[in-house]
Chains A and B, each alone.
Chain A
Amino acid sequence: MALYSEKVMDHFMNPRNVGSIENASGVGEVGNAKCGDIMKIYLQIENDIIVDVKFETFGCGSAIASSSMATEMILGKSIHEAMALTNKAVAEALDGLPAHKMHCSVLAEEAIKNALKDYFDKNHIPYDPADFPELDHDELHEAVHGED
């Protein structure tokens, strides 16, 4: 399959960490229907360590693969390490994504950040709001695909 790398296809066909966590420490959902991707990440955090992570994704092959890879990259890591996860790292770990699919890795990074923010908010843990910039999806859509 030339559309995606073998790694992407592996994570798409056999996605890791699919599902949800009841009473999760933090939940993050990003994306919108216009783009056709919605990602939801559930984190279970104990002593600043991500002891469990699950995802649910509505989206294309690379959206599902990006979610799967991103969850694998933060499982067992500290919340600080998870905060440092970038979309580029996710895409690189998947041996690259087609240019018009980079958007999917951005969603994965955002979904994790969103879930962490939810955890901070719930537990009244102070954070720098600059770490969680509000991304406008229409703008993102246009930045990735151009107008029209």
Chain B
Amino acid sequence: MHVYADNAATTRVSKTALDAMLPYFTEIYGNPSSLHSVGQEAKEALENARERIAGHLGCQPREIYFTSGGTESDNMAIRTAAALGARKGKRHIISTAFEHHAVLHTLKKLEKEGFEVTLLSVKDDHNITADQVRAALREDTCLVTCMFANNEIGSVLPVREIGAVCKEAGVIFHTDAVQAVGHLPIHVKDDNIDMLSLSGHKFHGPRGVGVLYIRRGIAPANLIEGGGQERGKRPGTENLPGIMGMAAALDDAIANMDAHTAHVTALRDKLIAGLSKIPHCVLNGDPVDRLPGNVSFCFEGIEGESLLLLLDAKGICASSGSACTSGSLDPSHVLLAIGRPHEIAHGSLRLSLCADNTDEEIDHILAVVPQVVEYLRKMSPVWKDLEAGKRQYITP
């Protein structure tokens, strides 16, 4: 059995999305900036996609900027608020300790440019509260940027409340909603969001395409210079096939959200209940306010990469918070941010589900993971020390 349970990393492009893209490679392949009919047909399609996406987010089409994806949108949003802040002498930014690196590394760069950054602790409940944001606000705060939902541990943040606090204080609020769009109901006006990043490939659209919503009244800062596309704020010939695929995927995701959420949440809860029976493991992330498809655990006495390789050999595609897989040997900053010690943060497993996953697949995962964990523990000197009482268990 082959089980793909890494949908937070990327999703399979749906047939609807693919079908929506194909004509824009070979039939309506014109440049939307061209005056001839093929170009104008492309332009119409582009504006139609923009309208549909704006409708789904609850904003105006002119507030939608097409980008290359979540990372670019995050960079552009933060740079936009920083530029506006700097003009007024406001150089303080509030964010959280478990943001994506697209946010954290941009903030780090801004620190070198003279900005001050407050990263809110996520140790309590693996989440933040609007009160934490309120307490961190200063006279010179120019931006609050908090993700909508965490990519590794699935915590869903109280975005509407955070947005209300920012609105009251007159501070720009950006949310990296890459993991949330298409999976959770979002309405930028009702949710008090000034800027929002999304990425097409997290809801069965193509990769290489995303959106930055910027509320009217906030002047976007260019990351690159060029022609007049996206009203000159994000120049470069539009990735029309990508945009059409993303719009179609989002149409699908929004239309089927209730059904998908019910199905995926049931699978998630079954998986969490089943994996919780493995001795000495712990669930990461907010147990209540949680993405429908996210399952994240740490297992004591084992290391994540070997777990992933063995699961892969048994047909299960998963991922790990352990950065061992990504080159550095430091464990995930997210797991460290929620207070997991290094030893246990190395033994993490993330399974991220989508509507295509089945009950049989969950049964397969629940049959395989306990075996693999036990196998690795048998050869682990750390586990042996834990069992012998030479090391203290961290989990109950």
Q: Is B238 in contact with chain A by the CB < 8 A criterion?
A: no
Is B329 touching A35 in the complex (CB atoms < 8 A)?
yes
**Which segment of A53-61, A69-77, A125-133 sits at the interface?**
A53-61
The chain B residue sitting closest to A29, CB to CB, is: B381
Q: Is B288 in contact with chain A by the CB < 8 A criterion?
A: no
Is A58 touching B301 in the complex (CB atoms < 8 A)?
yes
Q: Complex Cα distance A13/B329, Å?
A: 21
| 0 or 1 for each of B201-219: is its CB under 8 Å from A? (1 = yes) | 0000000000000000000
Within the complex, which residue of B312, B324, B380 is in contact with A56, where a contact is CB–CB below 8 Å? B380
| 0 or 1 for each of A119-148: is its CB under 8 Å from B? (1 = yes) | 000000000000000000000010011000
Give chain B nearest CB distance to A6 CB in angstroms: 13
Q: Which residues from chain B contact A118 at a C-beta distance below 8 Å?
A: none
The chain B residue sitting closest to A12, CB to CB, is: B309
Interface centre among A55, A56, A103, A141 (most CB of B within 10 A): A56
Interface residues on B, range: 20 to 34
Q: Which residues from chain B contact A103 at a C-beta distance below 8 Å?
A: 329
Q: Which residues from chain A contact B327 at a C-beta distance below 8 Å?
A: 100
Is B328 touching A59 in the complex (CB atoms < 8 A)?
no
Is A61 touching B305 in the complex (CB atoms < 8 A)?
yes
Is B379 touching A33 in the complex (CB atoms < 8 A)?
no
Is A36 touching B303 in the complex (CB atoms < 8 A)?
yes
Q: Check A145/B379 contact, CB under 8 A, given A34-B342, A59-B303.
A: no
Is B303 touching A60 in the complex (CB atoms < 8 A)?
yes
Q: Check A58/B382 contact, CB under 8 A, given A12-B309, A33-B343, A37-B303.
A: yes
Interface centre among B305, B327, B384 (most CB of A within 10 A): B305
Is A145 touching B328 in the complex (CB atoms < 8 A)?
yes
Those of A33-59 within 8 Å (CB) of chain B: 33-40, 55-59
Give chain A nearest CB distance to B383 CB in angstroms: 7
Those of B314-362 within 8 Å (CB) of chain A: 322, 324, 327-331, 341-343, 346
Q: Check A57/B309 contact, CB under 8 A, given A36-B342, A141-B329.
A: no
Is A145 touching B329 in the complex (CB atoms < 8 A)?
yes
Q: Which residues from chain B contact A29 at a C-beta distance below 8 Å?
A: 381
Q: Is B40 in contact with chain A by the CB < 8 A criterion?
A: no
Within the complex, which residue of A15, A33, A60 is in contact with B305, where a contact is CB–CB below 8 Å? A60
Q: Complex Cα distance A35/B323, Å?
A: 10
Q: Which residues from chain B contact A56 at a C-beta distance below 8 Å?
A: 379-381, 384
Within the complex, which residue of A15, A57, A144 is in contact with B381, where a contact is CB–CB below 8 Å? A57
Q: Is B259 in contact with chain A by the CB < 8 A criterion?
A: no
Q: Is B306 in contact with chain A by the CB < 8 A criterion?
A: yes
Q: Which residues from chain B contact A64 at a C-beta distance below 8 Å?
A: 306, 379
Q: Check A36/B306 contact, CB under 8 A, given A58-B381, A145-B329.
A: no
A residues near B (Cβ < 8 Å) are 1, 3, 9, 12-13, 15, 18-20, 29, 33-40, 55-61, 63-64, 100, 103, 141, 144-145
B residues near A (Cβ < 8 Å) are 301-306, 309-310, 312-313, 322, 324, 327-331, 341-343, 346, 378-384
* New A-B pairs, 5, CB < 8 Å, besides A60-B303, A64-B306: A29-B381, A33-B341, A34-B330, A58-B382, A61-B305
